[in-house]
Structure 1
């Protein structure tokens, strides 16, 4: 389990949810270096001190918070309660300010601000400035981060062209200003920020932050000692039902929570154990993420298997499935149906029919003629055992409902015909986790379709010739499309990230492609292509885009 996944589980258990901005998932500031041109994840000085709350990151500000705590008498009443912080690290306005460049959060922010955007200097406009404000400059700011900082580059871009105004020096407020090490690229910022979250240093120290937010240092004497106490109204479990019957107090408490946020449910009453106890016990997973060299870095060391995995008697390989125990292979124009992979769907017959068969016996158990109504099928995809997607010479992408039981086809009926291409559809892929279908065509375009709603999302134009291959990265949502010897990298929104014309001539035309997807933050991931000259090649992935043409 990654650090990101573990933090999401803790947030869920503590009652934090994407559905409530007042109880939004909370993530820690990880880094303290937002100035260097190169981020050194091997240096502890690059990281924030996870053992201290945001209010104690700077010694000068820390002393002021201690003074504030000592100056307030605990008997002065709840409104002037003894605490270190009168604001919170997570609130509706903090979440909305981070996500203000995306709808519906922009309208939420305007609503919370009383009908307009805030003055530019108080808006979220720079990662470094936000860190400086929360860690040392502003006595009213102890905010932490939200999960989007580790997976969603979109919130850093003003793609909706909102008019936020200009800073005092005349600089217009637009996209978020990124650290120098991100090279002005939101995608690279997210990748490196996620890599930092999964680093050995954070793995060894994240439990200290968990103690502050979800653990034993959240309340009581341990919280006082850790400089981690907030106004009592932020602790919802401190208000019994009887006291909340007072309408004035109830209104006051709800007002505090609405404006300033609330403490998550306490999950641990004892110190949380470290993920990495000592250097000799570094987990295999994290060691693998950071230290094991991927196989494609040492292609000269690869050795072919002595025995062939499977010999196909009827033409070239069409699909390869790598399971936990074995590798499954089908012939061209056949694909295996998940999740059991024991049934195949076949197409491309002379009469334009299709078939279903058993993978183990390699025998068809059903033939269906209805597919012939849509011309010659050129490609197919299968997201689950009940849906098959076909396309071909008719230019239409067809989504079929299928029911199979004990090697018997009960029915195959058309669910939706998707119209958009103007020439033969040559390839189609589908991603369940991103709920998207992508089709590529001889009309030199790709179209993204919503897998649930079965409607048009956007188009990927500008290919040099017919689209020959497609792949979706389930971890990052990136898309690769191939056209002749050209390779294109896209976002799920249809933004072209990079393109390259591979220098191998017509013989090197790309026929198939895929992403390596061990860890989404690993800069060593590549795109692997199979070409017409019989050679398998690799191209740089997301982190190597600056080497592309």
Structure 2
């Protein structure tokens, strides 16, 4: 929709006056360059606190790129140059594209070639290797990539079997995009391509590409020297459409902009800083007073600790806070490790993840809860579990700060929260109509998801501010759609997804924030199997484990199977609360 600057400014003023909840600023205006400086994103990327993909998405957004305008669509780099080898060697620099050159002159021979017209070529994207070959052979094709190349395998498949026509030369029918030899499927291509984007080589050279697209080599003498100059109407502020009175000339100018695109807003006028190497980032983290070291960098030196005394019942749940408060690093206090027995007995153990007085950086000490074996002082979850119910790890979750333990499986269909600091129950909420069978929290600790025998799931918005009840009395979302008992749940707010598995072998996917049903995934085979475990990664891969015929199935977001394996999953033991527990 085209509008005059006067109408645009009037609409903008009305929107700002409404003070919408996601408004970043309400008075004055900031240029994209000022927004980037104020955001602190560049330093976070340099320090490896955010990924290459996240940083590029932020840069595109700040520079005005949007999915809603094809002429200003988000732009991502070609990162690979090898689309023919049967195996992709990401550790070899030779498989990567030179990120310091514009895509049109990555092949040096294109620098000398000048043509006066565009190539007459098939415009349909049908081959990754063919598109790269065209870029290398023609100086007139200077297209970079779009974000979908790094997260959306479905765009490579003609899922609706559209008739996309035939290639002019070979008369070949255009269908699914032809993938490189090293990719076995669209999912495999996206996975390896994203891995290449986050590789060490790209991390250490991405700043060169940012200089070309968003930085100081976009305009001026630096752009001329880098052979990074485009037609003048594509640059921000180069043309004032409102000043063009001739309707024919204006229509022609708009056509050029809409068909050939616009360059992003210039965000930087000085060279972009280089990212820290992986080793440098790890060293910086180790020396920091606010971040503990990654113990898994020193797996060969880790010391194992064993509880040598017999316990009253088997441990069914072990957890530590997902986002530790760095209590030892900041206050000299221990972090916690929480264990739950099949009878509801609680153990709150202490451990020191780092000790500067030791010669090797992975040393830690473990302090077992002294009350765990003392019947008089032992801590125990309030309430009785459902008689005959299986007590397993999925009935318990620990809050991200390690202060609360939430439990299900109780006889009265309740969800309960137990304060580990105050050693008492602080919340008792009954909204399900049958026993709660599974709980899960997101990585940020904002949402709790519960599943029940009543076939429903509930999402709770947890109180992290310290005022009021940790577990609210009202649900954030109630999710329906299952025909049988819910057996496991998972929630990931980064993808706005809540997943629930059931006894009949189905996995339902809902949105977290709106509670909308998205779709159902079904396990393959004629006989339905019970879904026992669910896990989802931030890349959108869903792992489903089922029984009684144990198998793990890896699926993408829309349910297409990627990998399959058979076997039991360790750590999934269940204990009947009516049986006599063995010693540990």
TM-score past 0.5 threshold? yes
CA shift in 2, pair 1:41/1:388, >3 Å:
closer
2:502 maps to 441
Question: What is the aligned counterpart of 1:492 among 557, 562, 566?
Answer: 557
1:171 maps to 172
- CA distance in 1: counterparts of 2:107 and 2:469, whole angstroms: 69
Question: What is the aligned counterpart of 1:467 among 531, 535, 548?
Answer: 531
* 2:442 matches 1:378: no
- CA distance in 2: counterparts of 1:242 and 1:455, whole angstroms: 43
Using structure 1 for the length normalisation, give the TM-score. 0.71
What secondary structure, in the 3-state scheme, does the structure 2 residue paired with 1:499 have?
strand
1:366 maps to 427
What secondary structure, in the 3-state scheme, does the structure 2 residue paired with 1:31 have?
coil
Question: What is the aligned counterpart of 2:454 among 394, 397, 400?
Answer: 394
- CA distance in 1: counterparts of 2:92 and 2:136, whole angstroms: 19
* 2:185 matches 1:185: yes
Deviates more, 1:342-351 or 1:237-246: 237-246
What secondary structure, in the 3-state scheme, does the structure 2 residue paired with 1:217 have?
coil
1:2 maps to 51
Question: What is the aligned counterpart of 2:75 among 2, 5, 26?
Answer: 26
1:105 maps to none
What secondary structure, in the 3-state scheme, does the structure 2 residue paired with 1:437 have?
strand
What secondary structure, in the 3-state scheme, does the structure 1 residue paired with 2:237 have?
helix
By how many angstroms is 1:28 displaced?
Answer: 1.6
Number of corresponding residues = 449
Q: Is the 8 A contact 1:438 1:448 kept in 2?
A: yes
Q: Is the 8 A contact 2:323 2:401 kept in 1?
A: no
Mapping for residues 285-304 of structure 1, pairs under 5 Å: 302-304=302-304
By how many angstroms is 1:312 displaced?
Answer: 9.8
Deviates more, 1:427-436 or 1:351-360: 351-360
What secondary structure, in the 3-state scheme, does the structure 2 residue paired with 1:256 have?
helix
Mapping for residues 279-290 of structure 1, pairs under 5 Å: 283-284=281-282
Q: Is the 8 A contact 1:441 1:466 kept in 2?
A: yes
2:123 maps to 122
Mapping for residues 73-152 of structure 1, pairs under 5 Å: 121-137=122-138, 139-152=139-152
CA shift in 2, pair 1:392/1:166, >3 Å:
same
CA shift in 2, pair 1:147/1:327, >3 Å:
farther
- CA distance in 1: counterparts of 2:476 and 2:566, whole angstroms: 38
CA shift in 2, pair 1:164/1:440, >3 Å:
same
- CA distance in 1: counterparts of 2:64 and 2:461, whole angstroms: 38
CA shift in 2, pair 1:334/1:360, >3 Å:
farther
CA shift in 2, pair 1:362/1:55, >3 Å:
same
* 2:98 matches 1:49: yes
Structural RMSD (CA): 3.9
By how many angstroms is 1:185 displaced?
Answer: 1.6
1:230 maps to 230
- CA distance in 2: counterparts of 1:245 and 1:305, whole angstroms: 80
Q: Is the 8 A contact 2:78 2:144 kept in 1?
A: yes
Q: Deviations over 1:355-402 (max 9, x none)?
A: 23312223112333444xx12221223458775433332233344577
By how many angstroms is 1:131 displaced?
Answer: 0.9
Q: Deviations over 1:46-78 (max 9, x none)?
A: 22222222222334432123x86xxxxxxxxxx
2:352 maps to none
Q: Deviations over 1:433-469 (max 9, x none)?
A: 2222222222233222232332432132337632221
By how many angstroms is 1:230 displaced?
Answer: 1.3
1:196 maps to 196
Higher helix share: 1
By how many angstroms is 1:149 displaced?
Answer: 1.4
By how many angstroms is 1:283 displaced?
Answer: 4.5
Q: Deviations over 1:163-208 (max 9, x none)?
A: 21233545332211111112x3222222222232233333333232
Q: Is the 8 A contact 1:446 1:459 kept in 2?
A: yes
- CA distance in 1: counterparts of 2:81 and 2:52, whole angstroms: 18
